[in-house]
C-alpha cells in the first residue's frame, strides 16, 4: 500500500515535469524554425532586390545606377560613401532605382523587401516617395563592378544574418569587418 502510494506520488511529480520539458523542447524547436524562416525570407528579399538591380543594369550596359550619372537615369551624384564603400544614404539610391524601374513595371521591387524580416527596428515605407533611412535594413555597397564582372563585388549585406549579396546574384554568409 505504501509502495503504490509512493509510485503514485512520484508520477504526480514526474508527469508535469515531463510535460514541461516537452513543452520547452517544442518551444526551442518552434523558435529555431521561426529563426530559419526569417533567415530564408531575408535571402528571398536580397534575391529580389538583385533581380531589380539586374533589370535596371541590363538596360544600362551592365552598369549599376550608382555608376551612372543622373543625366543618364542613374544616381551617381547622389552617392556618398566612405572608404568601406557603404552608401551613407541608401534610401536616395533605392528611391532612384524605383524611379528607374517604373517603366519596367517595377519588377519585384517593393519597399517591403528592403527590410529584413528579423529587423525589429525598421518598418517598410508605405511607398518609395516616403522611403527613408529607417526603412532600409540592408547595407548598400557602391562598388565599381558591372553586372558581368569577375570576380563580382559586394552589392548588399544584412548585418543581422550576415547574408552578403554579390553583383553576380550569388549570396554567401559572410561577416564583414567594420
Ligand atoms: Zn537579414
What is the whole-number distance in angstroms between the Cα of residue 43 and the centre of ligand 1? 7
What is the whole-number distance in angstroms between the Cα of residue 40 and the centre of ligand 1? 8
| Band of residue 77 on the pLDDT scale cut at 50, 70, 90 | very high
Residue 29: the pLDDT is 81
Instruction: Describe the strand order of the beta sheet including 163-166 as a list of residue ranges.
Output: 139-140, 154-157, 163-166, 171-173
What is the whole-number distance in angstroms between the Cα of residue 34 and the centre of ligand 1? 13
What is the whole-number distance in angstroms between the Cα of residue 70 and the centre of ligand 1? 30
With respect to residue 65, please indicate whether it lies within any of the assigned structural domains. yes
What is the whole-number distance in angstroms between the Cα of residue 42 and the centre of ligand 1? 5
Residue 80: count of CB within 10 angstroms of its CB:
11
What is the whole-number distance in angstroms between the Cα of residue 148 and the centre of ligand 1? 25
With respect to residue 51, please indicate whether it lies within any of the assigned structural domains. yes
Count of structural domains within the chain: 1
Q: What's the gap between Cα 39 and its chain centre? A: 8
With respect to residue 178, please indicate whether it lies within any of the assigned structural domains. no
Give residue for cell 518609395.
128
With respect to residue 8, please indicate whether it lies within any of the assigned structural domains. no
With respect to residue 93, please indicate whether it lies within any of the assigned structural domains. yes
With respect to residue 36, please indicate whether it lies within any of the assigned structural domains. no
What is the whole-number distance in angstroms between the Cα of residue 159 and the centre of ligand 1? 7
Domain that holds residue 98: 42-173
pLDDT tens digits for 125-141? 999 999 999 999 999 99
The string of DSSP codes covering 36-69 is HHHHHHHHHHHHHHHHHHHHHHTTTTT--GGGS-
Report whether pLDDT(177) > 80.
no
With respect to residue 150, please indicate whether it lies within any of the assigned structural domains. yes
With respect to residue 18, please indicate whether it lies within any of the assigned structural domains. no
What is the whole-number distance in angstroms between the Cα of residue 124 and the centre of ligand 1? 14
Question: What rounded mean pLDDT belongs to the chain?
Answer: 88
pLDDT tens digits for 22-53? 777 788 888 888 999 999 999 999 999 999 99
What is the whole-number distance in angstroms between the Cα of residue 36 and the centre of ligand 1? 11
Angle at 154 between CA 53 and CA 149, to 5 degrees: 75
Amino acid at each position: 500500500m505504501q509502495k503504490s502510494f509512493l509510485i503514485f506520488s512520484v508520477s504526480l511529480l514526474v508527469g508535469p515535469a515531463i510535460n514541461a520539458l516537452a513543452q520547452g523542447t517544442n518551444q526551442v524547436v518552434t523558435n529555431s524554425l521561426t529563426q530559419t524562416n526569417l533567415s530564408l525570407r531575408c535571402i528571398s528579399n536580397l534575391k529580389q532586390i538583385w533581380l531589380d538591380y539586374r533589370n535596371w543594369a541590363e538596360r544600362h550596359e551592365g552598369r549599376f545606377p550608382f555608376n551612372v550619372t543622373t543625366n543618364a537615369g542613374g544616381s551617381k551624384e547622389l552617392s556618398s560613401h566612405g572608404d568601406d564603400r557603404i552608401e551613407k544614404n541608401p534610401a536616395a539610391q533605392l528611391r532612384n532605382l524605383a524611379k528607374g524601374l517604373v517603366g519596367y513595371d517595377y519588377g519585384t521591387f517593393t519597399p517591403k523587401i528592403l527590410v529584413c524580416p528579423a529587423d525589429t527596428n525598421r518598418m517598410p515605407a508605405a511607398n518609395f516617395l516616403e522611403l527613408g533611412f529607417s526603412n532600409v535594413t540592408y547595407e548598400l555597397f557602391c562598388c565599381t563592378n558591372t553586372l558581368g564582372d569577375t570576380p563580382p563585388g559586394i552589392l548588399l549585406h544584412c548585418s543581422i544574418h550576415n547574408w552578403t549579396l554579390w553583383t553576380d546574384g550569388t549570396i554567401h554568409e559572410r561577416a564583414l569587418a567594420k
